[in-house]
Amino acid sequence: MRLSTAFFATLRENPRDAEVVSHQLMSRANLLKKHGAGIYSYMPFFMRSLLKLQNIIREEFERIGWQEVQMPILVPAELWKESGRWDKMGPLMFKLKDRKEGDYCLGPTHEEVVCDIVRSQVTSYKQLPFTLYQMTNKYRDEIRPRFGIMRGREFLMMDGYSFDKDQEGLDVNYDKISEAYCRIFERAQLNFVRVAADSGAIGGDSSHEFHVLAQSGEDLILSTEDKTYAANVEKAECAPPEMTAKLLGTDWGQETSKAFEEVATPNAESIDDVSKLLQVPAHRTIKTLVYQFVDAKKPKETQPVVAYIAGHRSLNEVKLGAVLQKAGFSLLSLQPMPPEQVKDLFQCAVGSIGPIGGPEALRKVRTYFDREIIATHDAVCGANKEGYHLVHVEVSRDVLPLYVEGARKGVDLSTAVEGEPCPQHPENKPYTAHRGIEVGHIFKLGDVYSKAMKTVFTEENGKSKAILMGCYGIGVTRTLASAVEQNNDADGICWPKAIAPYQIQLVTLAKKDEADVIAYADSIYESLKAAGVEVLYDDRDLSPGAKFKDADLLGIPYRLVVGQRGISAGELEFVVRRNREKSALKISGVASGDIQALLKDLQRALEQ
Ligand code: ATP
Ligand code: MG
Ligand nearest to the CA of 437: 1
Q: Is 160 in the pocket of ligand 1 (CB under 6 A)?
A: no
**Mutation probe of ligand 1 site: the residue of 40, 147, 159, 438 with most atoms within 8 A of C-beta:** 438
Q: What is the spatial distance between Cα 166 and Cα 330, in angstroms, rounded to a whole number? A: 25
**Mutation probe of ligand 1 site: the residue of 26, 137, 146, 157 with most atoms within 8 A of C-beta:** 157
Q: What is the spatial distance between Cα 295 and Cα 201, in angstroms, rounded to a whole number? A: 13
Alpha carbon 452 to its chain centroid, in Å, reads 27
**Mutation probe of ligand 1 site: the residue of 441, 442, 476, 479 with most atoms within 8 A of C-beta:** 441
Cβ pair 510, 563 in contact under 8 A: yes
- Name which of 586, 403, 455 is nearest 162 in CA terms: 455
Q: Using N-to-C axis directions, what is the helix angle for 44-63 and 167-187, rounded to 10°? A: 140
What is the 156 CA–ligand 2 centroid distance (Å)?
A: 14
* Other Cβ atoms closer than 10 A to 595: 19
What is the 318 CA–ligand 2 centroid distance (Å)?
A: 13
SS3 307: strand
Cβ pair 315, 307 in contact under 8 A: yes
Q: Report the helix count and the strand count for the chain, using DSSP H and E.
A: 20, 30
Q: What is the spatial distance between Cα 248 and Cα 429, in angstroms, rounded to a whole number? A: 11
Cβ pair 384, 362 in contact under 8 A: yes
pLDDT on residue 458 = 97
Q: Is 449 in the pocket of ligand 1 (CB under 6 A)?
A: no
What is the 153 CA–ligand 1 centroid distance (Å)?
A: 10
Counting atoms of ligand 1 from 1, which one is nearest the CA of 140?
A: 27
What is the 209 CA–ligand 2 centroid distance (Å)?
A: 7
Q: Is 165 in the pocket of ligand 1 (CB under 6 A)?
A: no
What is the 232 CA–ligand 1 centroid distance (Å)?
A: 14
| Residue of minimum CA distance from atom 22 in ligand 1 | 475
Ligand nearest to the CA of 481: 1
pLDDT on residue 546 = 96
Ligand nearest to the CA of 153: 1
**Mutation probe of ligand 1 site: the residue of 199, 478, 482 with most atoms within 8 A of C-beta:** 478
What is the 81 CA–ligand 1 centroid distance (Å)?
A: 22
What is the 2 CA–ligand 1 centroid distance (Å)?
A: 36
Q: Is 1 in the pocket of ligand 1 (CB under 6 A)?
A: no
| Residue of minimum CA distance from atom 19 in ligand 1 | 475
Q: Where are the alpha helices (DSSP H) in 29-166?
A: 44-63, 77-83, 85-88, 111-119
DSSP per-residue letters across 508-577: E---TT-HHHHHHHHHHHHHHHHTT--EEEE--SS-HHHHHHHHHHHT-SEEEEE-HHHHHHTEEEEEET
Which helix (H) or strand (E) segment holds residue 440: the answer is strand 431-446
Q: What is the spatial distance between Cα 307 and Cα 469, in angstroms, rounded to a whole number? A: 33
What does pLDDT average to in each consecutive run of 10 residues of the chain (608 residues)?
A: 95 92 97 96 98 98 98 98 91 97 98 98 97 98 95 98 97 96 98 91 81 94 94 96 96 96 92 94 96 92 96 97 93 94 90 90 92 97 94 96 88 97 96 97 95 96 97 98 97 97 96 91 92 94 96 96 88 87 70 69 74
Cβ pair 580, 559 in contact under 8 A: no
Interior angle at CA 275, CA 273 and CA 280, nearest 5: 165
Q: Is 501 in the pocket of ligand 1 (CB under 6 A)?
A: no
Q: Sign (positive/negative) of CA torsion 145, 146, 148, 151?
A: negative
The residues, ordered by sequence, that sit 6+ positions from 259 with a Cβ below 8 Å of its Cβ are 392
What is the 147 CA–ligand 2 centroid distance (Å)?
A: 17
| Residue of minimum CA distance from atom 8 in ligand 1 | 438
- Name which of 329, 388, 327, 333 is nearest 356 in CA terms: 388
Q: What is the spatial distance between Cα 601 and Cα 86, in angstroms, rounded to a whole number? A: 60
Side-chain-facing half-sphere of 209: CA atoms under 13 Å: 23
φ, ψ of residue 393 in degrees (nearest 5) = -85, 125
pLDDT on residue 37 = 95
What is the 585 CA–ligand 1 centroid distance (Å)?
A: 44
What is the 577 CA–ligand 2 centroid distance (Å)?
A: 33
Ligand nearest to the CA of 473: 1
Cβ pair 585, 574 in contact under 8 A: yes
Task: Tell me how far apart the 2 most distant CA atoms of the chain are, in Å.
Answer: 99
Q: Is 138 in the pocket of ligand 1 (CB under 6 A)?
A: no
Ligand nearest to the CA of 149: 1
Strand 379-382 versus strand 388-393 pairing type: antiparallel
| Residue of minimum CA distance from atom 18 in ligand 1 | 440
Q: Sign (positive/negative) of CA torsion 265, 271, 276, 279?
A: positive
For 459-496, give one letter per residue: b (16+ CB within 10 A) or e. eeeeeebbbbbbbbbbbbbbbbbbbbbbbbeeebbbbb
pTM of the predicted protein model: 0.92
What is the 606 CA–ligand 1 centroid distance (Å)?
A: 35
The residues pairing with 572 across neighbouring beta strands, listed in sequence order, are: 585
The residues, ordered by sequence, that sit 6+ positions from 360 with a Cβ below 8 Å of its Cβ are none
Q: Sign (positive/negative) of CA torsion 468, 141, 221, 289?
A: negative
Q: What is the spatial distance between Cα 377 and Cα 372, in angstroms, rounded to a whole number? A: 10
What is the 342 CA–ligand 1 centroid distance (Å)?
A: 34
Q: What is the spatial distance between Cα 554 and Cα 550, in angstroms, rounded to a whole number? A: 6
